[in-house]
Homo-oligomer: A and B are copies of this chain.
Amino acid sequence: MQINLQLSEKYCTFAANFRYQTMQRTEISSLGEFGLIRHLTEKFEIRQPSTIKGVGDDAAVLTFGKKRVLMTTDLLLEGIHFNLEYVPLKHLGYKSAVVNFSDVYAMGGTPTQITVSVGVSARFCVEDMEELYAGIKLACDRYGVDLVGGDTSASMTGLSISITCLGVADEKDIIYRNGATENDLICVSGNLGTAYMGLQLLERENYAMGDKSKRTNPVSGDTIDAFEGREYLLERQLKPEARRDIIEQLRKAGIKPTAMMDISDGLSSEVMHICHQSGTGCAIYEDKIPIDLKAAELAEEMNLNIVTCALNGGEDYELLFTCDLKDYEKLLPLDDIYMIGHMTKPSAGMMLIGRNGEELELKAQGWNAFKESANEK
């Protein structure tokens, strides 16, 4: 078989320059991350009998025997996904691993193996890498996951971390994004917007660092600890956990969600993914969205709307799932699970119901790395 990838003169005489002179240029931001992924991957066919589900959920689903194998991957880039001015490398390692575990749990699986590839510029030393891997190791230890491979390389600038995670699940336990139907309850775990407020706090203090006067009590002259009493917000940002406990609770209670995903890009964007894939609309009740008190206080102080933060903030790594109405009674006694709305028929749209009953259309303003200002989040 001859493939259509010839080393024609066109390519050999420095195709890159040629390309820029003659080809159309469409900005990536015009498609957004999900649009780009869809656009780039839609032409790929599935051929392997071991591929059950490819692109389009928290993880791919594969089969190599009785158990199903889940596969998910994440690429984290310095300056886009993290800022080392205030993110300790050990925490970064921990979080990089945990966000992948979260994707596997969100499919109803158990993470089992990861590979870790790291690109580092000359600014980093071996001790830095030790810190990063110490965080990865803690995450592996805590979640019982094996590190089985990877790659380290120099980079021209900054730190890049790419982690791929495999997990296992029985076929009957796997939960996709497309299983929700009209009237299903919409539930979330934990609280939302808290990781985002932790980020706001870190960014504010990082920015204020240069000006000591802002961090000194004008009367006593004591240093003000801007983080005191707000450790939980920082923890949510710097040391998120995957909600394995929620999966276990649901299983014990005999509840199998009809659809599930983890909340990495913000509630709004994630609910819309489930609606799109399940072919439903939804109604989310503003006053049912679980908010942490300290997060709300800080939002007030920073003149932010905490509900907007909860809808669009991202990085909470809580679970969003839908359940059949008949599971209502079983859900009630469960810890740290909140019913925030229900699925509707598609024609009803994807709506947020305000405190006074007003209906607003949900918009996905969540995390999009291709926005004009890549650092805005």
Contact = CB atoms under 8 A, between A and B. Distances in A.
A85 B16 contact: yes
A15 B41 CA distance: 40
5 contacts: A7-B239, A37-B150, A54-B147, A64-B168, A73-B164
Interface in A137-155: 137-138, 140-142, 144-155
Contact of A5 (B53, B153, B239): B239
A151 B137 CA distance: 23
Contacts of A46: 146, 148
Interface string A183-201: 0000000000000000000
A86 interface: yes
A1 interface: yes
A7 B234 contact: yes
Number of copies: 2
Contact of A146 (B44, B158, B164): B44
B370 A154 contact: yes
Contacts of A154: 28, 77, 80, 369-370, 374
A142 B206 CA distance: 50
B112 A48 contact: yes
Interface stretch (A88-96, A273-281, A283-291, A357-365): A88-96
Interface string A1-39: 101110101011011110100011111101101001101
**Chain A contact residues: over half helix, strand or loop, or mixed?**
mixed
A159 B73 CA distance: 17
A44 B149 contact: no
A62 B15 contact: no
Interface stretch (A125-133, A250-258, A292-300, A347-355): A125-133
Contacts of A19: 88-89, 127-128, 131
Contacts of A81: 153
Given A55-B149, A115-B60, A126 B36 contact: yes
A51 interface: yes
Interface in A36-93: 36-37, 39-41, 43-48, 50-51, 53-55, 59-60, 62-67, 69, 71-75, 77-81, 84-91
Interface residues of A, number: 121
A168 B119 contact: no
A361 to B, nearest CB: 27
Nearest to A83: B16
Given A28-B154, A75-B119, 15 more contacts: A5-B135, A11-B90, A14-B206, A15-B88, A16-B87, A28-B125, A37-B151, A44-B140, A54-B149, A55-B148, A62-B112, A63-B65, A64-B66, A77-B154, A162-B162
Contact of A78 (B26, B89, B156): B156
A77 B119 contact: yes
A164 B124 contact: no
A216 interface: no
